[in-house]
Homo-oligomer: A and B are copies of this chain.
Amino acid sequence: MNDQSPGFEARLRQIGAERYHDKHPFHQLLHSGGCTLDQVRAWVVNRYYYQSRIPMKDAAFMSRVEDPNLRRIWRSRIEDHDGRAEGEGGIARWLKLAEGVGLDPDYVSSAQGVLPATRFAVDAYVRFVREQPLLPAVASSLTELFAPQIHEQRIAGLLANYDFANDQTISYFKQRLNEAPKDVAFGLQWVLDNAVTQSDQDAAAAALTFKTEVLWAQLDALYSAYVAPGRIPPGGWQPHEGLL
């Protein structure tokens, strides 16, 4: 089945080309400098919830992996997010961004004000990885194939357009540029190696599609609440809440 892999990899990449959230209008607004500070804050509050659940998702995956080698390789993802000491790691870096935009990091890390639709989408992702077979669980992580480009756009766009942006506040994205390539290279090869039947490949493609939906749904909720029509649902962060 190895001769199917080039076509299969192209199929996975096509899912990103069509569905990855770099094409969502919220990101275009954010990267072009079109967001108000409150809209940036709303993004920071909500995206924190996604970030904060990634290590839980990765631990759920590891809890089902019988191979110590695969667990050890995967464990580095949790280390990247949780760090090796207090104040280190991707979650702490995200909270630096939160501070940079004037939000109290304790408020942000409390996950108060996260849009219910964001919770539903993110929780669906964690549940997917906890419950599905290992192949779709790994395949759902492959949106990282498309992440370096959006991180580069974001770094450039934030630095060019927002006063809060500096090396400290955007360190999360810079660090992801260092971390994500090892993760996605491993994950992609693992999926290519393990998706040997057509049914496997269909399941992997469906998992990646599902993950693009998880990401897109978060931005739709954000846009609806804070851009247009700008109707913040009950429970959603209100501008001026959780400020430093």
Contacts and interface: CB of A to CB of B under 8 A. Distances in A.
Interface of A: 52, 55-57, 59-66, 68-69, 71-72, 75, 78-79, 81-86, 89, 91-92, 111, 126, 130
Contacts of A62: 55-56, 59, 62-63, 78
Nearest to A89: B68
B86 A71 contact: no
Contacts of A64: 56
- Give the interface centre of A56, A65, A83, A89 by most chain B CB atoms within 10 Å: A56
Nearest to A55: B71
A66 B83 contact: no
Nearest to A62: B59
A211 to B, nearest CB: 18
Top 7 nearest A-B pairs by Cβ distance?
A59-B62, A60-B63, A59-B63, A68-B82, A59-B59, A72-B82, A56-B63
B56 A72 contact: no
A59 B56 contact: no
Q: Is the interface of A mostly helix, strand, loop or mixed?
A: helix
Given A56-B66, A59-B63, A65-B56, A75 B78 contact: yes
B82 A75 contact: yes
A114 B85 CA distance: 38
Contact of A72 (B61, B84, B111): B84
Contacts of A72: 82-86, 89
Nearest to A79: B75
27 contacts: A52-B66, A52-B68, A55-B62, A55-B71, A56-B62, A56-B63, A57-B63, A59-B59, A59-B60, A59-B61, A59-B62, A59-B65, A62-B62, A62-B63, A66-B111, A68-B82, A68-B83, A68-B89, A68-B92, A69-B86, A71-B78, A72-B83, A72-B84, A72-B85, A72-B86, A72-B89, A75-B78
